[in-house]
Structure 1
Amino acid sequence: MAVSVPVDGEGFLVNRDDWSEELAAELAREDEFEMTSQVMDFIREARSMYDNDGVVPPIRIFAKKQGVSTKDLYGIFKKGPMKLICKWGGLPKPTGCV
């Protein structure tokens, strides 16, 4: 099933206002990842931090605020935790992320 809203070549939302929790789960499924309540909590928190600060939080700061280690995040997401959190969360691609 294809995502029903415009995304860029890497699957990031073109329009942040298109985001919803249902869409986040759909985007994760397209990446062969099953959305969990923990991951949705991470996404909500990253969106809140972005709304407050205007930037995607660096992984170390994000992990510390969530009470987890960066290793924990990599254990959950396997690769590029902040990139996936931002992609599924309708946020811009993190800087320093290739």
Structure 2
Amino acid sequence: MATTEIARHLTVEGRDIALDPEGYLVELADWSPAVAERLAAEEGLTLVDEHWEVIEVLRDFYARFEQAPAMRPLVKAVGLALGPEKGRSIHLMRLFPGSPAKVAARLAGLPKPANCL
């Protein structure tokens, strides 16, 4: 099994949280809502209910399929879980600017989605 390179640590609620060079958690078990809030702050985001809805969909997707979804499966999963208005790329881009699948997965404490550059 390959070891993941640790680039830096965050201190959240007195715990050291290891991050890889791209800012993803090294240990998925280190995730908590407080960790998500701290990672979001680094992205310049303040998490509101709409963010948490998507994070919950992502964590459920990962629990079921053991991978973080790339953009197309993310849009589909959000649409199925939250309705067609929220399951649109434009909605996800507004919530998670840049690369929604990557940013949302990072905040949800998941690995980088496959097929995301």
Q: Which moved more, 1:55-64 or 1:85-94?
A: 55-64
Structure-1 separation of matches of 2:67 and 2:22: 19
- The letter for the 2-side match of 1:30 is E
Match of 1:32 among 44, 48, 58: 44
Match of 2:31 among 8, 15, 19: 19
Q: Name the Cα RMSD after superposition.
A: 1.4
Of structures 1 and 2, the larger Rg is shown by 2
Q: From the two aligned structures, give the one with the greater strand fraction.
A: 2
Structural mapping, 1:1-98, within 5 Å: 3-4=10-11, 5-67=17-79, 68-98=87-117
Structure-2 separation of matches of 1:62 and 1:96: 13
Percent of matched pairs sharing the same residue: 30
**Which structure carries more relative contact order (alpha carbon 8 Å, separation 6+)?**
1
- The letter for the 1-side match of 2:10 is V
Structure-2 separation of matches of 1:85 and 1:75: 12
Taking structure 2 as the reference length, the TM-score comes to 0.76
Report the alpha carbon displacement of residue 59 of structure 1 after superposing the two structures with TM: 2.0
Structure-2 separation of matches of 1:35 and 1:60: 22
- The letter for the 2-side match of 1:76 is L
Structure 2 residue runs without a partner (length 5+): 1-8, 12-16, 80-86
Name the count of aligned residue pairs.
97
Structure 1 segments of 4+ aligned residues over 3 angstroms from their partners: none
Structure 1 residue runs without a partner (length 5+): none
Q: Which moved more, 1:58-67 or 1:84-93?
A: 58-67
